[in-house]
Amino acid sequence: MAPGASVRGGGTDHHVGDVTSAPDGGADESVRAVTSVPVDGADESVRPVTSVPGGGTDHHVGDVTSAPVGGTAGPVGSGSRAGRARAEGPLLLGVRHHGPGSARAVRAALDDRRPAAVLIEGPPEADGLVELAADQAMRPPVALLAHAVDDPGRSAFWPFAAFSPEWVAIRWALAHGAAVRFIDLPAAHTLAATDPTWGDGDEELHPELRIDPVAELADAAGYDDPERWWEDVIELRGATASADPTAPFAALAEAMGSLRETHGHGGHARDLVREAHMRLRLRAARKEFGDDDVAVVCGAWHVPALARKTTATADRALLKGLPKVKTGMTWVPWTHRRLARRSGYGAGIDAPGWYEHLFAVLDRPVERWMTKVAGLLRAEDRLVSPAHVIESVRLAETLAAMRGRPLAGLGETTDAVRAVMCDGSDVPLDLVRDRLVVGDILGEVPADAPAVPLQRDLDRLQRGLRLKPEAVEREVGLDLRKENDAARSRLLHRLRLLSVGWGEPVAGRGSTGTFRESWRLRWEPELHVRVAEAGVWGTTVASAATARAESRALEATSLADVTSLAEQCLLAGLGEALPVVMTALADRAALDTDVGHLAQALPALARSLRYGDVRATDTAALAEVAAGLAERIRVGLPPACTGLDADAAVDMRGHLDAVHTALALLPDNAGLTDRWARALRGLAGRDSVPGVIRGRAARLLLDEGRLDEDEAARLMGLALSPATPPADAAAWIEGFVGGASGGGMLLVHDERLLALVDAWLTGVTGEAFIDVLPLLRRTFSAYETGVRRTLGELVARGPSAATARPQAGTPGFAVHLDEERADAVLPVLRMLLGVDDLVGAGT
């Protein structure tokens, strides 16, 4: 099986080996020897493309006689003919990886033949770990994980589900006391190649060269969809399809054999090397266990290559000089979702849940599946009766008959579920797809599985950053302008994302600067367990944290969650996770109808932008999302501000302030702030908007100079006119001058405003006064003592004083400058500043 990324297009392997029967003489061989591995096109040009019929057999014999040159070649060709699994000789079981039908057939064939050794397409480094597969605590889906010891980021996965033929074979062998050997190319070589998902890289470079064996066979059978062909011909065959459990494998091997004769290695030159290794391992196993006591489970595509007669020398020559790295290997838990994921580590199967169902049920798979679906939909409060189940089954089966399929497959059952149980709607169907077709199943591995590479990566980082894990609690201050400290901060933030609580951020001593961070560090023993758990996310701290952040972004339900996640990503320097997080953020923002949520999200974003600046991360995407968010808030705000009760209005006023402040932090915001100001102007003048918001909007505009003082006075006059209910007017005052935003000074400066307040307050009736008193008290008590006193003085002086001095200067100061008194300060200033010629500089 291909490591890591894999194997769609029918699940059978795309990896292609050499195809011709019996390489002809020395010419080919010598070319191989000089071509550096991996072998590529050069090989093809020399190789005799079509095998010679008739003469071929003789040639084989000649080949075999030359085998002893290799020394250990053993009885390679004895009796077995190309592409056949026969009653004598090794049992070659060609499968589709993760095919439940293949798995069932493999089990039947193994039960029939009872071999003493089972060889499996997988990295030989895992031979020592195979016993763990029998452990009680081991529950598929799991994966074999290989990683380069010095560079844990370089890793490869071999996932196994309960319905994987390889897994079935492993379990069978362990239960029957048979030996298990992995025969694929060692991971040490695989990981040493530049691309860890070895063998898939050239697919992308030369897609036209690559052939999909299953697609070819399906095409020959008149199917347009190779998946469906495989399902019909292999997976959906009942267990009773054939009396001889090995017959299907023989037929398939024959088909693959003829395919490989026509298509050569079809784009996967590297498979030649893998197959050479498989042959060598097979030879060794045959020597050890005897010819008839060995079974091989591998991708159907490799079967002809394994049955082929070559010399051990030739195989060895292919393997010579492969690069190598030190490799660690372990089992890690896997999930169905990851089996389904195409890219990255997924096994590339679309419907692991469906496959598992096919594998697990004894009979009537469609009926049982429909019952399962009905159960799920009922749990979600949809009305699904047994009659629905009956009709779904009938529809699925009739559909299959009409489409000419032997049994209803996933496509038919899905169509039937949609038409009968879901009223034609895709919404409940998505649920079925997510929960059943893919499924939530999470694998488990025993605790004594070797340490995950993540731990190694962490050790390495801890050494490199000189940040030792200590059980004693200590506090460290980090200066983010220093490279090492910044890296430490990123590490700690990443670990936090991975729920490895080694460090907790604490409020720094008196420092509010964005370039300092304080952490409280304490390494508890159970954090090792946490690291092991986090191992499912990746092999390095960075990749694991990225994967975790992306997954959390997709799961997050509220906008605020995603925003804070974005903030954490920036702090942790996880630039690669940002696109996913940003998309999630933009999506949530677009669909969230509550302006309050949007308004809560914006400040964190704006803050993130500022942090991003400090840490020199690229925040262009973030800025774009923030601008979009701000635009949505602006559009949604006016309707959201009507019909609010007092508490909701106060909340909204808080949002208003927060958004207004955040907007100022956004880059290139000129157009946006203009439109925002227009929206505020609209709010300030709309009667249906609560007073506190109107007042606040007017004040924000006034502070920015977008509202002149006359207009502000007019608005205040309107708000405080007798027609306005006193409570509303008081709320307006609270909005306009309340809070710690310097509202008191405003009143002190502009006596016209103060006079308006004064006139209104003296005008309200006694009862109303008592009603509004608490609100006013709250407003004015927030002012500083000095401001309160000045206000009191001004009010005590009365309106006459205000009219007597039309130019509102600062109270306590004369209109004109008293130069004599100013000069008197100069000597002291000189002393303080240590300069001699201050005259003329200060006024």
Partner 1 sequence: MTVPETIASAVPGAGSRTGTVAPAEVLRPHAEHAFADELKALAAADDRPRPVRWQLSPWAVATYLLGGTLPDGTVITPKYVGPRRIVEVAVTTLATDRALLLLGVPGTAKTWVSEHLAAAVSGDSTLLVQGTAGTPEEAVRYGWNYARLLAHGPSREALVPSPVMRAMSEGLTARVEELTRIPADVQDTLITILSEKTLPVPELGQEVQAVRGFNLIATANDRDRGVNDLSSALRRRFNTVVLPLPATPEAEVDIVSRRVDQIGRSLDLPAVPEGVEEIRRVVTVFRELRDGVTTDGRTKLKSPSGTLSTAEAISVVTGGLALAAHFGDGVLRPGDVAAGVLGAVVRDPAADRVVWQEYLETVVRERDGWKDFYRACREVSA
| The binder of partner 1 chosen from 27, 379, 635, 829 (CB under 8 A) | 635
To the nearest 10°, the Cα dihedral for 647, 649, 650, 653?
160
Distance of closest approach, residue 584 Cβ to partner 1, in angstroms: 10
561 binds partner 1 (CB under 8 A): no
657 burial via Cβ count (<10 Å: 0-12, 13-18, 19+): middle
Q: Is the CB of 156 or the CB of 395 nearer to partner 1?
A: 395
Distance of closest approach, residue 593 Cβ to partner 1, in angstroms: 7
Q: Is the CB of 188 or the CB of 416 nearer to partner 1?
A: 416
β partners of residue 297: 93, 120
Distance of closest approach, residue 674 Cβ to partner 1, in angstroms: 13
Radius of gyration of the chain (CA): 38
> Which stretches of 37-141 are DSSP H helices?
41-46, 55-65, 100-113
| Token pair belonging to 544 | 């694991």
Stretch that binds partner 1, among 24-32, 213-221, 229-237, 390-398 (CB under 8 A): 390-398
**Distance (Å) of CA 184 to CA 13, 187, 190, 264:** 13, 8, 10, 20
Stretch that binds partner 1, among 63-71, 385-393, 443-451, 565-573 (CB under 8 A): 385-393
Stretch that binds partner 1, among 38-46, 154-162, 166-174, 585-593 (CB under 8 A): 585-593
591 binds partner 1 (CB under 8 A): yes
631 binds partner 1 (CB under 8 A): yes
| The binder of partner 1 chosen from 387, 507, 620, 832 (CB under 8 A) | 387
Calpha distance 133→3 (Å, rounded) = 19
Distance of closest approach, residue 398 Cβ to partner 1, in angstroms: 5
Q: Is the CB of 62 or the CB of 671 nearer to partner 1?
A: 671
Residues 256-295 that bind partner 1 (CB under 8 A): none
| The binder of partner 1 chosen from 628, 685, 742, 763 (CB under 8 A) | 628
Distance of closest approach, residue 617 Cβ to partner 1, in angstroms: 21
Q: Is the CB of 128 or the CB of 579 nearer to partner 1?
A: 579
383 binds partner 1 (CB under 8 A): yes
Distance of closest approach, residue 630 Cβ to partner 1, in angstroms: 10
DSSP 376: H
CB 548 within 8 A of CB 512: no
β partners of residue 478: 517
Distance of closest approach, residue 568 Cβ to partner 1, in angstroms: 23
H or E stretch including 312?
A: helix 312-319
| The binder of partner 1 chosen from 30, 72, 385, 688 (CB under 8 A) | 385
Residue type, 223: Y
Tell me the site size for partner 1, rule CB under 8 A: 35
Q: Which residues fall within 8 angstroms of residue 271, CB to CB, at 6 or more apart?
A: 13, 15, 16, 17, 199, 265, 301, 302, 305
620 binds partner 1 (CB under 8 A): no
Map residues 396-435 to x or -, x wherever contact with partner 1 holds by CB under 8 A: --xx--xx-------x---xx-xxx-xxxx----------
748 binds partner 1 (CB under 8 A): no
Q: Is the CB of 387 or the CB of 814 nearer to partner 1?
A: 387
Distance of closest approach, residue 602 Cβ to partner 1, in angstroms: 14
621 binds partner 1 (CB under 8 A): no
824 binds partner 1 (CB under 8 A): no
Nearest to 406 by CA among 529, 236, 292, 251: 236
787 binds partner 1 (CB under 8 A): no
Calpha distance 183→283 (Å, rounded) = 11
Q: Is the CB of 175 or the CB of 591 nearer to partner 1?
A: 591
Question: How far out from the chain centre does Cα 531 lie?
Answer: 18
CB 607 within 8 A of CB 563: no
| The binder of partner 1 chosen from 636, 691, 695, 739 (CB under 8 A) | 636
79 burial via Cβ count (<10 Å: 0-12, 13-18, 19+): exposed
| The binder of partner 1 chosen from 52, 250, 586, 802 (CB under 8 A) | 586
Q: What is the 3-state secondary structure (H, E, C) of 784-843?
A: CHHHHHHHHHHHHHCHHHHHHCCCCCCCCCCCCCCHHHHHHHHHHHHHHHCCCCCCCCCC
Distance of closest approach, residue 586 Cβ to partner 1, in angstroms: 6
Stretch that binds partner 1, among 205-213, 633-641, 695-703, 726-734 (CB under 8 A): 633-641
Distance of closest approach, residue 682 Cβ to partner 1, in angstroms: 11
Q: Where are the beta strands (DSSP E) in 81-150?
A: 91-95, 117-120, 142-148
Distance of closest approach, residue 509 Cβ to partner 1, in angstroms: 43
723 binds partner 1 (CB under 8 A): no
CB 623 within 8 A of CB 667: yes
Distance of closest approach, residue 429 Cβ to partner 1, in angstroms: 11
754 burial via Cβ count (<10 Å: 0-12, 13-18, 19+): buried
Distance of closest approach, residue 386 Cβ to partner 1, in angstroms: 11
Distance of closest approach, residue 400 Cβ to partner 1, in angstroms: 9
839 binds partner 1 (CB under 8 A): no
Calpha distance 414→429 (Å, rounded) = 8
The 3-state DSSP class for residue 335 equals strand
Stretch that binds partner 1, among 96-104, 173-181, 309-317, 581-589 (CB under 8 A): 581-589
- For the four alpha carbons of 326, 273, 277 and 280, in that order, the dihedral sign comes to negative
Q: Is the CB of 175 or the CB of 387 nearer to partner 1?
A: 387
Calpha distance 729→293 (Å, rounded) = 95
Long-range Cβ contacts of 805-810 (<8 Å, 24+ apart): 808/749, 808/750, 808/751, 808/752, 810/748, 810/749
Stretch that binds partner 1, among 94-102, 110-118, 461-469, 634-642 (CB under 8 A): 634-642
- How many other C-beta atoms are found inside a 10 Å radius of the C-beta of residue 785? 7
53 binds partner 1 (CB under 8 A): no
Q: Is the CB of 184 or the CB of 397 nearer to partner 1?
A: 397
| Token pair belonging to 760 | 């209104």
- How many other C-beta atoms are found inside a 10 Å radius of the C-beta of residue 23? 24
Distance of closest approach, residue 222 Cβ to partner 1, in angstroms: 15
| Token pair belonging to 708 | 């002149």
Stretch that binds partner 1, among 91-99, 238-246, 341-349, 629-637 (CB under 8 A): 629-637
Q: Is the CB of 335 or the CB of 413 nearer to partner 1?
A: 413
Q: What are phi and psi of 159, to 5 degrees?
A: -75, 145
Stretch that binds partner 1, among 165-173, 193-201, 388-396, 533-541 (CB under 8 A): 388-396
CA angle 43, 45, 50 (to 5 degrees): 100
| The binder of partner 1 chosen from 97, 388, 405, 496 (CB under 8 A) | 388
Map residues 664-693 to x or -, x wherever contact with partner 1 holds by CB under 8 A: -----------x------------------
Distance of closest approach, residue 677 Cβ to partner 1, in angstroms: 15
The 3-state DSSP class for residue 664 equals helix
The 3-state DSSP class for residue 299 equals strand
Report the Cα–Cα distance between both ends of the chain, in Å, rounded: 84
The 3-state DSSP class for residue 737 equals helix
Calpha distance 296→736 (Å, rounded) = 81
Stretch that binds partner 1, among 211-219, 395-403, 528-536, 613-621 (CB under 8 A): 395-403
Q: Which residues bind partner 1 (CB under 8 A)?
A: 383, 385, 387-388, 391, 394-395, 398-399, 402-403, 411, 415-416, 418-420, 422-425, 583, 586-587, 590-591, 593, 628, 631-632, 634-636, 639, 675
